[in-house]
Each structure stands twice: as structure tokens, then as C-alpha cells.
């Protein structure tokens, strides 16, 4: 999958595409960021861009296959002039296809085995192969997915290679926990940060690549914390249920200032009192509140994560002005933190219903 088909991360993709076109990709890269946001995809896209037989341009305005999302200011143009041209893979040539099918001889992926760790032997094998010239392509990529799972001696073996990188090989370390890498390994790599994805991007990916219906995709995205991986792990039914419950909570507390009525909202939120369930409902609540602040500011409805619920959300704005929405949003954040610290879901729900 070429850079242009990856959801989000535009500044990182721009940087990599430009480095490919200039031939200045650093010998060691560290992609740091949460699981399931596209780090491995980006590493594969980099391998394709480096080895593509018919590279294309990346960074032109409107070159994205992703959809109608407007291209934001930093990605591409000032006064209509593209400022960030780079190289992207075509996605169709034999090299691109072989890399996509994971059968290209010069793209090695090392990942934790059943034990959950990456053993010294796995790393030695990759290092040995990296010492030779690329076999079929121009550059070899060694992608270490879950680099924080490298056992200590494996990190040390890798460090020796990173100190004197073989000329045609690039090491890409992917990790959600860069702090678990040895400082010496970390200091050898050029670190790129991957943030959580926008919920609208998660939903678009679920629809486009995983055949979700719009409702299921939006619901799963709302409880995904910006991770496609997490959205796929979530049971869609539970996500849809969480978003429905969160909507009912807002409708209940919006309808009346009476504390008794608000505690009705708390009951809806607490549900069966299951911690995971309350957690999902809180994530859905914060997603809905974020959308309400978008609606209140009359910003472009394109950016709504729950665009399919706009008709349910709009009437709530009569009682939720901008100030109340922002306060509610930060209260939900505190509630999530409390659940994370093991507070009773029911007590948290009661507290939150009075804050909203």
C-alpha cells in the first residue's frame, strides 16, 4: 500500500516521501506510536517507495485516494504551490506487488514469536542478511515490529549493526514503547512519532478496507481511541451499544437539571456495572462531546466522527453550550482516569452524571 493510501500521519508521510526522493532516508528509523495506527503499513510503504520501478509523486494537492477529506494546510500548498513533493510507490509494479505480498527478498520483517519476545537468533539472522547487497531491489529494509520486545542481548547485537549500518540496508524499529529501547539504540535512530488517528480516518479505513457498514464503522471508531487495530479487536455490537448508551446519557442529562433525573443518566452509563462496558461508554461519550463542540462552533461537518448521529446531537446543543461541552469533555476524561485507577464504575458514573 503506497503512502497516499495510508490514513492520517500526513507530516510523517511527507517527510519520508521527501527523504526517498532525495535519497536521504536515515539508516535507522524508529516509528513510535500506539498500536494499530499504521506504523507497519508505513514501513512497508517506505520499502515499496524505495524499490518501486515506476515511482509516483507524493505531496501534490488532491493526490490522495483517501476521499473527500480536505487537505490540511501543512500538507501541501501555500498559495497553490506544492511545497512537499516526494516519491511514492506505484503499488502496481512487480516490486511493489512482491513487497505487498511479503515475498520480496529484500524486505525482512522481524516480530515477536509465541513467547512475546524477539530472540537473539531472529535478530542475528536479519543482521547477517542485511550485510549483503540487496538481492532483487535497490534498498533492503529490516522492519522490527514490536522492537520493545527485543530481549536485552538482541538489542545489543542490533546496536553493533546500527553503529556501523551496512550501506544498502535500512532498519526500521516499530514500537508503542520507545522508552523500553536501550538509550544507546534509541540514540542511533531517527525517531518519528505516530499519533492516534482521527476517528473519521479510523471509520473510513473500516469502511474501505474491512467492509464495515457506516453505522458499525462510526461506532467502532468512537470507541477505538484512534487505533484501527483496536477498532477491529472491539466487537462491533458492543461498540454500537456503547455509542447508543452514550447518546442516551447525554439526552437524559440535557433534558433536566434535576439531580434525580441526572442520576437516571448515571444508571444508563453504569449499565451492568462492568468496567469494560463503562470504559467503552465513556470513550463514546467523549467522542460525541467532541463532535458537539464541532457542531457548536459551526465548523465543517466533514470532520465529525459521528456524522451519522448529527440529527441526534444537534438538539442537545440547546442545553449544551460551548462552555458546558468543554467542561463535560474534561469531566469524561477524569472519569476515564478514575476507571483506569480502578475506581468503582458505579460511583464514577454517579459522579459524572452530576458533572455533565
Indicate the residue among 3 and 194 with the shorter CB distance to Zn ion: 3
Indicate the residue among 141 and 335 with the shorter CB distance to Zn ion: 141
Query: Which residue from 66, 85, 93, 109 is in contact with Zn ion, where contact means CB under 5 A?
Result: 93
Which residues make Cβ contacts (< 8 Å) with residue 194, sequence separation at least 6? 9, 12, 31, 32, 33, 34, 37, 38, 39, 42
Indicate the residue among 54 and 193 with the shorter CB distance to Zn ion: 54
Q: Please state the closest distance from residue 93 (CB atom) to Zn ion, in A.
A: 3
Q: Please state the closest distance from residue 95 (CB atom) to Zn ion, in A.
A: 6
DSSP-assigned letter for residue 69:
P
Which residues make Cβ contacts (< 8 Å) with residue 32, sequence separation at least 6? 175, 176, 178, 191, 192, 193, 194
Indicate the residue among 52 and 231 with the shorter CB distance to Zn ion: 52
Indicate the residue among 51 and 236 with the shorter CB distance to Zn ion: 51
Rule CB under 5 A: is residue 181 a binding residue for Zn ion?
no
Q: What is the DSSP string of 251-305?
A: HHHHH---HHHHHHHHHHHHTT--HHHHHHHHHHHHHHHHHHHHHHTT--GGG-T
Element (H, E) at 144: strand 140-145
* Region of 45-53, 113-121, 245-253, 328-336 interacting with Zn ion (CB under 5 A): 45-53
* Cα-based distances in Å from 238 to 232, 249, 331, 353: 12, 16, 23, 21
Indicate the residue among 96 and 282 with the shorter CB distance to Zn ion: 96
DSSP-assigned letter for residue 36:
T
Please give the grid coordinates belonging to residue 265. 443518566
# residues near Zn ion by CB under 5 A: 5
Give the 3-state secondary structure of residue 175: strand
Site string for Zn ion, 52-91 (x = CB under 5 A): x------------------------------------xx-
- Give the strand pairing for 140-145 and 169-175: parallel
Rule CB under 5 A: is residue 120 a binding residue for Zn ion?
no
Rule CB under 5 A: is residue 138 a binding residue for Zn ion?
no
Q: Please state the closest distance from residue 299 (CB atom) to Zn ion, in A.
A: 38
Q: Please state the closest distance from residue 4 (CB atom) to Zn ion, in A.
A: 12
Chain contacts with Zn ion (rule: CB under 5 A):
52, 89-90, 93, 96
Amino acid at each position: 500500500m503506497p503512502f497516499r493510501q495510508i490514513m492520517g500521519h500526513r507530516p510523517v508521510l511527507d517527510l519520508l516521501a521527501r527523504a526517498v526522493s532525495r535519497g536521504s532516508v536515515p539508516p535507522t528509523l524508529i516509528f513510535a506510536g500506539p498500536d494499530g495506527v499504521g506504523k507497519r503499513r508505513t514501513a512497508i510503504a517506505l520499502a515499496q517507495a524505495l524499490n518501486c520501478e515506476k515511482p509516483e509523486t507524493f505531496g501534490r494537492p488532491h493526490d490522495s485516494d483517501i476521499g473527500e477529506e480536505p487537505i490540511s494546510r501543512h500538507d501541501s500548498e501555500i498559495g497553490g504551490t506544492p511545497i512537499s513533493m516526494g516519491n511514492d510507490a506505484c503499488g502496481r509494479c512487480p516490486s511493489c506487488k512482491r513487497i505487498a505480498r511479503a515475498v520480496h527478498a529484500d524486505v525482512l520483517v522481524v516480530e515477536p514469536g509465541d513467547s512475546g519476545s524477539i530472540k537473539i537468533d531472529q535478530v542475528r539472522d536479519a543482521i547477517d542478511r542485511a550485510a549483503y547487497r540487496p538481492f532483487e531491489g535497490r534498498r533492503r529494509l529490516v522492519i522490527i515490529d514490536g522492537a520493545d520486545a527485543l530481549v536485552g542481548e538482541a538489542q545489543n547485537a542490533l546496536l553493533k549493526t546500527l553503529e556501523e549500518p551496512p550501506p544498502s540496508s535500512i532498519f526500521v524499529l516499530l514500537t508503542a514503547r520507545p522508552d523500553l529501547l536501550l538509550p544507546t539504540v534509541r540514540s542511533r535512530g531517527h525517531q518519528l512519532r505516530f499519533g492516534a488517528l482521527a476517528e473519521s480516518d479510523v471509520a473510513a479505513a473500516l469502511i474501505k478496507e474491512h467492509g464495515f457498514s457506516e453505522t458499525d464503522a462510526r461506532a467502532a471508531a468512537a470507541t477505538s481511541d484512534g487505533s484501527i487495530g483496536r477498532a477491529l479487536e472491539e466487537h462491533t455490537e458492543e461498540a454500537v451499544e456503547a455509542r447508543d448508551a452514550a447518546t442516551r446519557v447525554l439526552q437524559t442529562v440535557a433534558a433536566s437539571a434535576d439531580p434525580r433525573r441526572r442520576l437516571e443518566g448515571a444508571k444508563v452509563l453504569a449499565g451492568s456495572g462492568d468496567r469494560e462496558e463503562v470504559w467503552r461508554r465513556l470513550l463514546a461519550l467523549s467522542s460525541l462531546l467532541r463532535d458537539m463542540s464541532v457542531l457548536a462552533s459551526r465548523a465543517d461537518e466533514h470532520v465529525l466522527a459521528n456524522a451519522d448521529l448529527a440529527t441526534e446531537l444537534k438538539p442537545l446543543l440547546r442545553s449544551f453550550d460551548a462552555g458546558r461541552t468543554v467542561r463535560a469533555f474534561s469531566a469524561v476524561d477524569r472519569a476515564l482516569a478514575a476507571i483506569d485507577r480502578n475506581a468503582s464504575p458505579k460511583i464514577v458514573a454517579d459522579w459524572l452524571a452530576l458533572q455533565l
